[in-house]
Structure 1
């Protein structure tokens, strides 16, 4: 069996004096799609941010591609991340294709400095950006200012940013927040298509149990610590959902 793409052992994270994540361990195998589910305040976003080394952890071990997260170096370029809220100044004058292009120049794929990369290989970059936008059905938006995009359009553009170079691990933190039910279903279909084509390993935070049960390979139920993990039909049983969310939870909730 090949080594896991991501391995987390005994991860604990404090937010100030608050214990946000406690002793979490799990693995992701190549080409799988794993969803983290749990109630508000369960530590889901904290977990994925700690996995990506965006916030400090109190204890625990994280390995990506068999290496400690702190030693990834240029291998970080094989990670794609879509945050829950992409915060930006909507008046900032940057177009869709310019934003997606930033994903290409940040790869370090040549030996030159950042400024040199901005000036070098314009044809290769342009082709890569155009192809990423086509594959996410966002090519028609390429000249549009990002501040004018709808929530669903922005999600597709951010997915194109992740697609503009080859990625191995894609982390989505409630990628469908602010998108209606049909938009979420369309995005899931696109994500599944690209996942098969790119052989992505996906780790996503989601509130939509129905979508998770239909589209993900594995589920990690979290409430500060791991309540259960396994295939959707096992992890999302009524007993496990009750243990994760407590009484009164409705399985088919849509937070869009």
Structure 2
């Protein structure tokens, strides 16, 4: 059964805010945004599965300075011999020793090895990682809440799952805003001709996405009156998305570019 959805309060968005967000969306949703952002990592690849694997990893490791995140992702690519999909499907146990020194903040070798284990198991059965997010979701869902719940349960279901790794896979069940996974889904699902987001998944729709609430987006959104909830959690993310849906019901998360860009500019 699909997970129950959070009913977000709709906030009337003033015209001047709508104009600002549209202007900044046009400014930042372009290829020159890519090189300094973690999305540059999957843009190094053309094979769908390589893009999925490195998009997922880049989003999960996306905390801290962007330069550091990019460097750690490049390290992972090198450890996987420059071919993530081929490596996760065909590596030998002896190949895993090279990952024992990998670490990024609280993400360590134990987490890394389980990610590889999950990818190998999943891609032996499925062609695309999109399938992992469809198990808890139906086409009529307003948001990807059910997809995130279902993915969390699937990801954590393999034998010998290390309990410590659970903290890296957010879920609305724990009231998380699911910032990193929402960013990953944006990359995979949003479809336009700008060249930043990939839009390689088709069964989840852009209208169902939830805005990633990183510190920049959260701060700017509060300043612009798009969020009223005091804390930042899943309900906050859906509240922000409901506000953005007023501006573009079919593609509300395109304004993530604008909110993030304003934050980087020091707008607030």
Q: Does TM, normalized by the shorter one, top 0.5?
A: no
Whose helix fraction is larger, Structure 1's or Structure 2's?
2
Relative to its length, the structure with more strand (as a share) is: 1
